[in-house]
Each structure stands twice: as C-alpha cells, then as structure tokens.
Amino acid sequence: MRLPQVTLHLRSGKELQGALLELREEPQRGKAVVLHVMSAHARRAEPDVLFVRPEAIEAITVHDLPSLGQPSRDLPPPPSKLELRRKLAQRRDSLAAALGTPLELEVDWDRFPPEPEALEALDTLSTRAFGVLEGLSRELLGLEALRTHVRTLHLAVGSAAQVLRQQESLLLITPVGAVGRMTQEELRGAIEKVL
C-alpha cells in the first residue's frame, strides 16, 4: 500500500516531511504520530522514523491525495483466487491445530468482487487476522476464549471494517480500499472486545 506523503506543520514553526506510517498509542508515553523521513545527517542517507506527539502538530498537509488508498506500484500483484484459497486453508489448518479444535473458514466466493483489489484486501485482512488469532491462541485466556466462542471464521470485504461475533462465528470485514482498514493492533482490540 502506498503510504501518504505529508508535511507536519508543528506549533514551533518547524515543518517535517515524510511518509505517515501510523498513529501509535503506547501505555506510558501516550499517542504519537509515526513519520518515516530521510536522515538529516549528510553522512548517511538512510530512512529514519520520527515519533511526534499529536499536540505538537498545528496542521497536516497531505501530498498526492489521489494516490491514497491505492496499492503501491512496487508491490507484487495480489494473489489469484486459487492462491488465496490455498493460503487461507493452510492458515486455517495451522490455527485449528494451535486451538486443538475444528475451525471452519468461510468466504462467500460466489458473491466475492472480481477486482484484484478485493483479493488484495482479503489477503491483507487474513494475514492480520490470523496473526492476531495465533497470538491470542498462545495466551491462556485468549486460547480459552477462542476455543469456547469461535467455531467459524468468516472473512469478507465490504464498505467498512467490522468485527462481529454471532453465536460461534467470528465475522471480519474489511473495505476494498486501503483507507479505513484496521491495523493489526486495532483488529486485535476489536476481536478481544467481541470474545
């Protein structure tokens, strides 16, 4: 996914330019805007990451707005439907083994959008979702909650990101475009709330 190029206009009058990575919240430090910038040191032209407190920011200029939410041109093409089905089956089997219980995986392939962007969105969602679920399965409370409450994992694309639990089914929905997708941390928080 292409990262938004921004200029942060700070209250101090200074401006910082770079790629906006994320808004991160850490328990002891609070919120921080994470910005990917090129080093200011002439000796090394390597990327740096800056953590900026949101209250220090007066305004943000977003550059190249039409490209936001579009896949980066240097990324590999999204998987085909067959490749994605195989990948999902392997991930399901791995998670079921970790849980020690059967797990069904549902994707409504008959109504699935035909665009490659939809396959990419589902691939990204599944990578994040299985990462979260595998992480939860390594924790005692998470393992017990998954064993008790989840027998079916349903993945879908839709107009907005959602996490729902209906009886023993966990429903995860992601938008096709990159804007509005949950990060892995947001997804974990949403899954923990419904378990």
| Domain residue limits, the chain | 5-67, 81-194
Each residue's pLDDT tens digit, 144-154: 999 999 999 99
**How many whole angstroms separate alpha carbon 96 and alpha carbon 170?**
14
Q: Both tokens of residue 152?
A: 């079916």
Determine the pLDDT at residue 23.
79
**Whether 123 contacts 77, CB under 8 Å:** no
Q: What is the pLDDT of residues 128-145, one digit of tens each?
A: 999 999 999 999 999 999
- Token digits of residue 66: 């039409």
Whole-structure pTM value: 0.66
Q: Which residues contact 25 (CB under 8 A, 6 or more apart)?
A: 31, 32
Confirm if 176 and 117 have CB atoms less than 8 A apart.
Answer: yes
Cβ burial of 172 (10 Å; 0-12, 13-18, 19+) is buried
Is residue 40 over pLDDT 70?
Answer: no
Alpha helices in 12-162 (DSSP H): 81-99, 116-137, 140-149
